[in-house]
Amino acid sequence: MKKNIIPAIRLTLVCLVFFCGIYILAVWAVAQLAPGNGKGFTISDNGKTYHVNVAQSFTQDNYFWSRPSAVDYDAAGSGGSNLGPTNPDYLKEVEERIQHFLKHNPDIDKADIPSDIVTASGSGLDPHISVQAARIQIKRIAKVRNIEEERLNELVEKNIEKPLFGLFGTEKINVLKLNIALNNLK
């Protein structure tokens, strides 16, 4: 028994030193090389700091709306609803979102609503919407803010993020950056 206990204790001590010390320092050192020094991608506006890579809740008519979130935009608990596309509860929830969107955007046809504006992402924290989801909201925002639609179209165009290396992914728009630019529009 002594033959097995001593090596087990040694292995436990080596693992404790490695995983509680060396490994953590190595991860911290690598994080210092990343943009934001491991604190994430942030942006400051009017004295407030926001995380660009985590969705924010925008539901007022004078802003571009974010994607719905199954976790209420809580970065501490990312996750989807885990309901399938044929689940009656999920279908009811999506239909309620569609009706809410149509109520606030009466000039839009139901068939023209992009899916990403009424369905949550897998993480519930996706900070992006499609270009189509941004464009479909322009009429509402122009009316509420009393801004020409053309200026909002230009703003959307300036905030389009292209696919990685021009190949991977689709064009998308970060809602937080777009709304900050909207607030700074003169």
Give residue limits of the domains in the chain: 1-39, 40-183
- Per-residue pLDDT tens for 93-138? 999 999 999 999 998 899 999 999 998 887 778 889 999 999 999 9
Spatial contact of 69 and 124, defined as CB atoms under 8 Å apart: yes
According to the model, what pLDDT value does residue 154 have? Answer: 94
Mean predicted confidence (pLDDT) in 9-25: 92
pTM for this prediction:
0.77
pLDDT band at residue 173, thresholds of 50, 70 and 90? very high
> For residue 78, is pLDDT > 80?
no
Would you state the structure tokens that stand for residue 52, as one six-digit string?
């660009």
Q: Contact 176/57 with Cβ under 8 angstroms? A: no
Greater model confidence, 157 or 48: 157
pLDDT at 80: 72
